[in-house]
Amino acid sequence: MKIPLRYNLRSLLVRWVGTLMTAIGIGLTVAIFIVMNALVNGLDSTFVQTGRENQLVIIRQGSLAETNSYFDRGLYETVRLLDGIAHDKSGQPLASGEITVIINHPRLTGESANVLIRGVSDMAFAVRPEVKITSGRKFRDGLRELVVSQSLANRFQNMQIGKTIHIGRSDWRVVGLMEAGGTAYDSEIWADYEDVAQEWDRPIYSSILVRANDAKAAESLTKRIKDDQRINLQALDQKTYFKDQMVSSIGIKALGLFIAVVMGIGSCFAAMNMMYSAVMGRMKEVGTLRALGFKRRSILSSFLVESVILALAGGILGCLMALPLHGLSTGTANFISFSEVLFHFRITPTILLKGLAFAAIVGVLGGILPARRAARIKLVEVLRD
C-alpha cells in the first residue's frame, strides 16, 4: 500500500452523503445475511443440543422419524427386557414407550401451524432430565390433561395454563408448562400415553426411548434389534437422530443463501456505482498520482481498498442493525417459529465476522471494475483537462 489509507478515508468522508447511502444499502444486505445465518444457527443448535449419550430412539424399520413410525404394543414389552438397558432405582428398565401425533393449531397471530403431541408415561421424564415442569403440574391419567412447552404457550392460542383446547374428539385442559433446555422437546405438548392412544383409537407406539448401560451396550442393543427378524424395528443414537433432523434446515439454508446472493449482487452494483462515480470525479487526482510516479498497481489497490472500506462500513452498520434482534430473543418475543419447530434466534461473534467477510467480498467485487478503470486511465488525456 503505497498510497496512504487516509487518502481513501478522507475521500470517502468528503462524499459522505453518497458514502452513507451506499453503506446503508450494503448494511441492509449484511443485516439480512446475518439474520439468515442466525436463523439457521438457532435451528441447528436446537437439534444439536437434543439427546444424551448412550440413549437410543427405537422406531419402525424404514421410518425416518417418530412422526411416521408406529408398531405394535407387544414389541415394547420385548424391547424393554433386552440386555444392556439401564434401570432406575426401583429396578424398572429405562425405556419409554411413546406415541406422537401432529395437530394443526392457530398461533396467537391467527395463522395455523403444526404442533407435535407426545403421549408419554412417567418414564419419559426419567430418560429426559432436561425436561422440567416450570409452572402448574404434571397431567393426570384419564383426565385429558396437557403439559405445554413454555415456547408454544408464548406463541399459540389457548395454550396457557387453565385454557382448554379441542383436539381429536375431546376438550383438553392445559395444567402445566415445561421447558426442555433449548432442545427439540421445547416445541412439544405432552400428555398421558393412554389418553392420546384412546383419543385417536391407535393402540400403538411410535417410538421407544431407551437408555443403555454404556456405549458398548448401546452398540450391541442396536445390533441386536437390527438382526432380530421378529422385531421390525431400528435403534438410532438419540443425538444422531436429532442431528439428522437438521436436513429440514437445509431448505432454509438454501433459501437464505439464495436471498444473500441476490441481495449481495445488488450491493455489489451499489458499491460499483459509488466507486465509478468516485473514480470519474478523481481522474485528475489519479493522473497526478501517476505523474508523481505511482504505478498502476498502486492506483488499482488504492481504489479497491477504498471500496472494501466502504463496504466494511456497511458491514458494521449491518451488524448494528441485526444485533437488536438478538436482544429480542431474550425478551418477550422469545422465539421465532418455523413450522412446528421453535428455536432461539442466535447471533454469535462468528456470524458477525461472517457478515463482515460477506461485506468485504461485496467491496472487492463492486470495486474491481472501477479500480481497473482508474488504473488504466490515459495519463496525458486526464492531465490535459
Partner 1 sequence: MSEPLIEISALSKVFQRDSVEVRALDRVDMQVFPGDFVCLMGPSGSGKSTLLNIIAGVDRPSEGSVIVAGESLNEMSEDELAAWRNHHVGFVFQHFNLIPVLTAFENVELPLLLTSLSKKERREHVTTAMELVGLTDRMDHYPRQLSGGQEQRVAIARAIVTDPTCVLADEPTGDLDAHSAREVLEVLKGLNEQFKKTIMMVTHDPHAAAYASTRYQLEKGVFSKEGARQTV
Ligand X SMILES: Nc1ncnc2c1ncn2[C@@H]1O[C@H](COP(=O)(O)OP(=O)(O)O)[C@@H](O)[C@H]1O
385 binds partner 1 (CB under 8 A): yes
Dist. CA 385–CA 25, nearest whole Å: 34
Whose Cβ is closer to ligand X: residue 292's or residue 380's? Answer: 380
The residue within the footprint of ligand X, chosen from 1, 17, 292, 380 (CB under 6 A), is 380
Give the Cβ contact number of residue 90 at 10 Å: 5
Binding mask 324-363 for ligand X (x = CB under 6 A): ----------------------------------------
Smallest distance, ligand X to C-beta of residue 384, A: 6
Written as nine digits, the cell of 53 is: 449419550
Q: 63 and 204 in contact (C-beta within 8 Å)?
A: no
111 binds partner 1 (CB under 8 A): no
Q: Strand pairing partners for 329?
A: none
Whose Cβ is closer to partner 1: residue 17's or residue 292's? Answer: 292
The residue within the footprint of partner 1, chosen from 63, 158, 160, 288 (CB under 8 A), is 288
381 binds ligand X (CB under 6 A): yes
Q: Using CB under 8 A, count the residues that bind partner 1.
A: 26
Residue partners of 191: CB distance under 8 A and separation at least 6: 117, 118, 119, 120, 139, 144, 145, 146, 147, 172
Smallest distance, ligand X to C-beta of residue 380, A: 6
The residue within the footprint of partner 1, chosen from 45, 126, 285, 338 (CB under 8 A), is 285
Give the Cβ contact number of residue 157 at 10 Å: 14
Q: 8 and 306 in contact (C-beta within 8 Å)?
A: yes
Q: 272 and 367 in contact (C-beta within 8 Å)?
A: yes
Whose Cβ is closer to ligand X: residue 88's or residue 381's? Answer: 381
17 binds ligand X (CB under 6 A): no
Written as nine digits, the cell of 188 is: 412439544
7 binds partner 1 (CB under 8 A): yes
Whose Cβ is closer to ligand X: residue 132's or residue 284's? Answer: 284
Smallest distance, ligand X to C-beta of residue 287, A: 13
Strands 341-343 and 95-106: unpaired
Whose Cβ is closer to ligand X: residue 227's or residue 385's? Answer: 385
Q: 205 and 98 in contact (C-beta within 8 Å)?
A: yes
- Count CA within 13 A, CB hemisphere, residue 99: 21
379 binds ligand X (CB under 6 A): no
The residue within the footprint of partner 1, chosen from 230, 292, 330, 331 (CB under 8 A), is 292
Dist. CA 240–CA 50, nearest whole Å: 9
Q: Using CB under 6 A, count the residues that bind ligand X.
A: 2
- Contacts with ligand X by CB under 6 A lie at 380-381
